A and B are shown apart, each in its own frame.
Chain A
Amino acid sequence: MRLLVLLWSLGPLLWQLRTSLLRPEALVAPLREGNPWTLANYQLVLCGDPPFWQYLTNSTLVGLATTLLTLLLAVPCAYGLQKLRGPMRWGVGLALAAAAMFPTVLLFLALLEIARSFGLANNLLALSLPYAALSLPLAVLLLRAAFADLPGELEDAARLEGLGLGQRLRFVLLPLLGPALASTAILVFLASWNEYAIALTWISRSDLLTLPIAIARIGGGSVFTIPYGAFAAATVLGSLPLLLLVLVAQRSIVSGLTRGAVKG
């Protein structure tokens, strides 16, 4: 059973790995002689113009900026929402849940207009504005659940000690939210790393492309001319950071989504 599941999940990825290590002739038919294995595909991708690591850097930059901005906005919002009572609380919660489900692609045209009129196109940091908005609903819902889990007496005690709102958040509440902040940050980073429709329309300069767009551009030609070996090498290189992240943060991701599902 376990083996079957692993085969289903990893089979396509392992096939990419195999493809990336084969010479182009060996992809089409088994070679009669000579060594079919090569690292040339990786060389091609890494020495391209712009080199492949440029896309990794771009995606990482956007991901980090997005994560930071999202948390900066989401923490106060989640705290405020948790303190709010009455129909407003219900209404905002519902609106956030609806926004969390909204398919991003339907927003791209209006966002592109905004980008053009404010000169935000071809700017990686500006990209983190819509990205933060896309991740905010989930982040706020997750963090509100985490705030709700903290004992209320804790904040009351801190208030009696004379700590202001900012101090209470910074010194009392946030240190206790570590795990929730970490899992939220990872989910936000993943979402930003993988976003397609907005990056596709906002970024046109080839040295500023994020990873998903750069990889899709490789396949931009016809089905028959895609350099599958080089492309597979790009896939493998692009997947490695995520593989590491998922392996290291598996517990965090699972607990984050779990909390969101239970409370949301």
Chain B
Amino acid sequence: MSAPTVSLLLMLPALLLLASVFLYPLLRYGWLSLQASSVLTGLVPVPNGGANWGRLLDDARFWTDAGQTLRFALCSVSLELLGGLALALLLHRPLRGRGPLRALTLLPWALPTTVMALGWRWILNDPHGPINAAIRSLGGSSYGFLSTPATTWFFVVLADVWKTMPFVALLLLAGLQTIPVDLEEALRLEGASRLQILRRLTLPLLVPYLTLALLFRLAQALGVFDLIQVLTGGGPAGSTESLALYAYLNAMRFLDFGYASTVMLATFLLLLVSLGGGWLLLRRHGQGHATERAA
């Protein structure tokens, strides 16, 4: 047997499992999205000539959720990148007890999302949670963190940032460790300030890591599900419902598999577009940096 054949044979079992878990669902959704398959049809798929896609275009709830999902993703990912960068810079410095510090800051990321989503529900509870208790003891009145449609989404972002920032920090820490110490030393001897070193050396060299973190987090945030399902259930008044939660509800509560498949596929397409956009933006920015340094 030739070497490439052996390679392919070794990869075959893994690739088969991957294809049936990642590829098959997408094909299946593509097919189901062209069928009526709900309680009305006795859950038997009947072709309905693209009616699901027509319904999607007119579905105000879908587009509202799309906007909300995008807002959630953009806000939480940018906060995570900023906070993660600061945290990575801190954890990179030679501090006493750095190992345990790294482990303890990583802990929120290691815990199940649902566990801490319920934890946040208690912390933000109105009126008994600790934050509201503190506000009252300062003379204010309780605030419905999770019951005010205009602002609840922000506290969902906060809970997500709390959990995922350490992960971003870790990725960026990996990047920081690849930067040679003598480069930084040389810049310092030339009299560059810490901010200048950050701008001229550290950030440009971190661009690949920032890109990786951005794309990965954006994809995950656009598919946000468990945090929202447990923290707010999509409420109040649907103001925090995400696309993934809407797809889930269509399948498991409204038992409309055809439309649920359509929503999931549409979410996936939206995700591809956003990721492509983010990537192009970063690449142009990165090239700008490169030319700046060359000049």
Contact = CB atoms under 8 A, between A and B. Distances in A.
B223 A196 contact: no
Contact of A101 (B106, B219, B252): B219
A102 B219 contact: yes
- Name A's interface SS: helix
A80 B171 contact: no
B113 A212 contact: yes
A261 B171 CA distance: 6
| Residue of B13, B112, B116 ringed by the most chain A CB atoms within 10 A | B112
Given A80-B7, A106-B247, A242 B17 contact: no
Contacts of A5: 87, 90, 101, 105
A28 B128 contact: yes
B114 A196 contact: yes
A110 B220 contact: no
B22 A107 contact: yes
Contacts of B261: 109
Interface in A136-192: 136-137, 140, 165, 190
A193 B112 contact: yes
Interface string A199-225: 001000000000111011011000100
Contacts of A101: 215-216, 219-220, 275
A110 B31 CA distance: 11
Interface in B101-127: 101-108, 110-123, 125
A1 B90 contact: yes
A102 B212 CA distance: 14
A10 B3 contact: no
Interface stretch (A36-44, A45-53, A232-240): A232-240
A215 B22 contact: no
Contacts of B275: 101
A258 B175 CA distance: 8
Interface stretch (B52-60, B186-194, B263-271): B263-271
B174 A99 contact: no
Given A80-B8, A196-B112, A219-B118, A253 B17 contact: no
Contact of A232 (B18, B113, B117, B122): B122
Bin chain B's interface residue count.
35 or more
Contacts of B248: 105, 108, 197
B162 A8 contact: yes
A254 B22 contact: no
A238 B29 contact: no
Given A258-B174, A262-B178, A16 B103 contact: no
Interface of A: 1-2, 5-6, 8-10, 12-13, 15-16, 19, 27-28, 73-74, 76-77, 79-81, 83-85, 88, 92, 95-96, 99-111, 113-114, 129-130, 132-134, 136-137, 140, 165, 190, 193-194, 196-197, 201, 211-213, 215-216, 218-219, 223, 226, 228, 231-232, 235, 238-239, 242-243, 245-247, 250-251, 253-254, 257-259, 261-262, 264
Interface of B: 3-4, 6-11, 13-15, 17-18, 20-22, 24-25, 28-29, 87, 90, 95, 97, 99-108, 110-123, 125, 128, 130, 146, 162, 166, 170-171, 173-175, 177-178, 209, 212, 215-216, 219-220, 222-226, 229-230, 244, 247-248, 251-252, 257, 260-261, 264, 267-268, 271, 275
27 contacts: A5-B90, A5-B101, A6-B104, A12-B119, A19-B122, A28-B128, A80-B10, A84-B7, A103-B220, A105-B226, A109-B260, A129-B17, A165-B6, A193-B112, A196-B112, A196-B113, A216-B229, A219-B121, A223-B125, A231-B118, A235-B115, A246-B106, A250-B99, A250-B106, A253-B106, A254-B173, A258-B173
